[in-house]
Amino acid sequence: MQTKLIKVHPEDNVAIALVDLVQGDRIAFEGEEIIVLADTKAKHKITLVDLSAEDKIYMYGVLVGKAVSKIDRGGLLTTANVKHQSDPVQKKTASISYSPPDISKWKDRTFMGYHRLDGQVGTANIWLFFPLVFCENRNIEVLKDVFEKELSIGKASKQRQLLRNLISGKPAEFEDGSLSERAGAFDNIEVKFITHQGGCGGIRQDSVTLAKLLAGYVKNPNVAGATVLSLGCQNLQIDILKNALKDIDPDMQKPVLIYEQQQMGTVEQMLNTIIQESFEGIKKANGNQRKPASISKLKMGLECGGSDGFSGISANPALGYASDILAAVGGSPILSEFPELCGVEQELVNRCVNDEDGERFMQLMKAYENAAEASGSGFDMNPSPGNIKDGLITDAMKSAGAAKKGGTSPIKAVLDYGEYVTEPGLNLLCTPGNDVESTTGMVGSGANIVVFTTGLGTPTGNPIAPVLKVSSNTVLAERMPDIIDIDTGPVIRGEKTIPQMGEEILEYVIKVASGEIASKADQLDQNDFIPWKRGVSL
């Protein structure tokens, strides 16, 4: 008989519907009978006890809200009868005991990666073009058009072929095989391009922060070298980038070609010079070859977006188990999205190995929350309409499930946005909850691969790091197969355990890191890059 309800933690007083429930349904649960008081969609929650106004609501063993009106046992939790609430946190209260997973089959595992002179290992080999200021975006786009047409490997896009057929009067329908094949000039390097809206017009601190982020992209082991365009008069001066590069790696040995338009004459002269000199760097970088490397060289960004009521019981804890394995073998999982850690701060503070990191985490969280409140918002407004529709009705409820991506490992370091990951083990990185801003930040802090859980679906990718999508439910995986890499729906159906699913995720990560499989985001050429702008425009 199919299980209809699940309680995530023994101390919880609510349960999640695994299937659609109908008013009047009688469900045998934990030796008692629950009568469903209202039609309840799968992923939503019903109370297991009678709740009065102001009574506390617990999920995942933590406070996730309070009742604002009476809710009888078996009643549906909604935004009308539940309000966000979380426990305050002041300091570390205990050291949480930790039992690492069995890593006997993982400790000697390797992936095929690109070894860099600084000891890092990339999952890709990329020459990166980017501007210091938005004024150079047009020139970046020109270079992108030139280099992608001449260096890219494979088929013309189906959309270009379709338009070509329409222009020529040919039938709109065509077989995949009719797309024109073209060989790439190089077989072992990709060229990628970043544009952005920063570098000038804001406060000086934003330019410094952007420089740190871009320096992190250069430092990232997936990047072999970079071409940088500057206008000349902008806030983000070349020296600021050079200082950021020196701070992140005093012995930076990657080629970084920098061009300032206001010192180079005409656009044509500048672009011709850039093309010639960048080509030589790309040609040399093409000589890099994949070689075996320990999976301890993986820095895995942990992301979630378009979350649903199943994310916290299938995709996120499964990714958390994979994260625990990676941390135990010496790799570096990265948990970010600080607004989505609201409500689980105490657990995370207690998991910090060093008291200083626990204090820093609390300071970063408080400063971020204060900034949100000063702008007329707050962490309690984090759940999106899609989250709410699919059962995540308070920020603490969303956060408690989102934090499961970080598994149960001890936290080895707490970093602010733009700081680079150097510690093996689980790292906390301060980023927004926004999917692309968070992913952009983790890659700038060294993530050479990102695993992104979703219950509703999202196409997010990154210019230099593979982004794997993990669906919380099979309905999504079947509806959007072109963006979903891994389906954790079998966990919901009781066909696989969290450890089994976690190991499957890690096996898939190793294949993508080795270049055996391209992530769906890379297949779609999804290259999203949005820096976090903390300040105001001036």
**Tens digit of pLDDT at every position of the chain (538 positions):** 568 998 888 899 999 999 999 999 999 998 899 999 999 999 899 999 999 999 999 988 888 899 999 999 999 999 899 988 888 887 888 887 888 999 999 999 999 999 999 999 999 999 999 999 999 999 999 999 988 877 764 444 565 566 566 667 776 554 444 444 444 568 899 999 999 999 998 888 999 999 999 999 999 999 999 999 999 999 999 999 999 999 999 999 999 999 999 999 899 999 999 999 999 999 999 999 999 999 999 999 999 998 888 999 999 999 999 999 999 999 999 999 998 898 899 999 999 999 999 999 999 999 998 888 887 876 766 667 777 776 677 777 888 889 999 999 999 999 999 999 999 999 999 999 999 999 999 999 999 999 999 999 999 999 999 999 999 999 999 999 999 999 999 999 999 999 999 999 999 999 999 999 999 999 999 999 999 988 765 5
Give just the sign of the alpha carbon dihedral 282, 287, 290, 294: negative
Q: Is the domain of 477 the same as that of 418?
A: yes
Q: Report the C-alpha gap between 465 and 219 in whole angstroms.
A: 13
pLDDT value of position 184 = 57
At which residue do the structure tokens 């039938």 appear?
171
In 3D space, the residue among 231, 286, 446, 312 whose CA is nearest the CA of residue 14 turns out to be 312
Amino acid code (one letter) for 283:
K
Q: Is the domain of 308 the same as that of 436?
A: yes
At which residue do the structure tokens 């190995």 appear?
353
Q: Is the domain of 160 the same as that of 300?
A: no
Residue 488 belongs to what domain range?
Answer: 294-523
Is there a domain that residue 213 lies in? Answer: yes
Q: Is the domain of 46 the same as that of 133?
A: no
Is there a domain that residue 118 lies in? Answer: no
Q: Is the domain of 302 the same as that of 262?
A: no
pLDDT value of position 386 = 73
Q: Is the domain of 228 the same as that of 351?
A: no
Q: Is the domain of 257 the same as that of 373?
A: no
CATH number where 77 lies: 2.30.130.110
pLDDT value of position 164 = 60
- Other beta carbons less than 10 A from residue 77's beta carbon: 24
- Is the Cβ–Cβ distance between 137 and 195 less than 8 Å? yes
Is there a domain that residue 535 lies in? Answer: no
pLDDT value of position 239 = 98
Q: Is the domain of 238 the same as that of 376?
A: no
Is there a domain that residue 35 lies in? Answer: yes
Q: Which residue blocks in 198-266 are alpha helix, DSSP H?
A: 204-219, 238-248
Last residue of a domain, one of 246, 272, 287: 287
At which residue do the structure tokens 């909604």 appear?
78
Q: Report the C-alpha gap between 296 and 269 in whole angstroms.
A: 45
Q: Is the domain of 283 the same as that of 193?
A: yes
Is there a domain that residue 119 lies in? Answer: no
Q: Is the domain of 174 the same as that of 230?
A: yes
pLDDT value of position 400 = 85
Is there a domain that residue 528 lies in? Answer: no
Q: Is the domain of 265 the same as that of 303?
A: no
CATH number where 135 lies: 3.40.50
pLDDT value of position 399 = 82
Q: Could you give the number of structural domains in the chain?
A: 3
Last residue of a domain, one of 56, 83, 110: 83
Last residue of a domain, one of 55, 83, 111: 83
**Count, residues in the chain:** 538
Q: Report the C-alpha gap between 185 and 372 in whole angstroms.
A: 49
Give me 525's structure tokens.
Answer: 């050429």
Is there a domain that residue 97 lies in? Answer: no
Is there a domain that residue 100 lies in? Answer: no
pLDDT value of position 103 = 96
Q: Is the domain of 316 the same as that of 195?
A: no
DSSP track, 407-432: TTPPEEEEE-TTPPP-SSSEEEE---
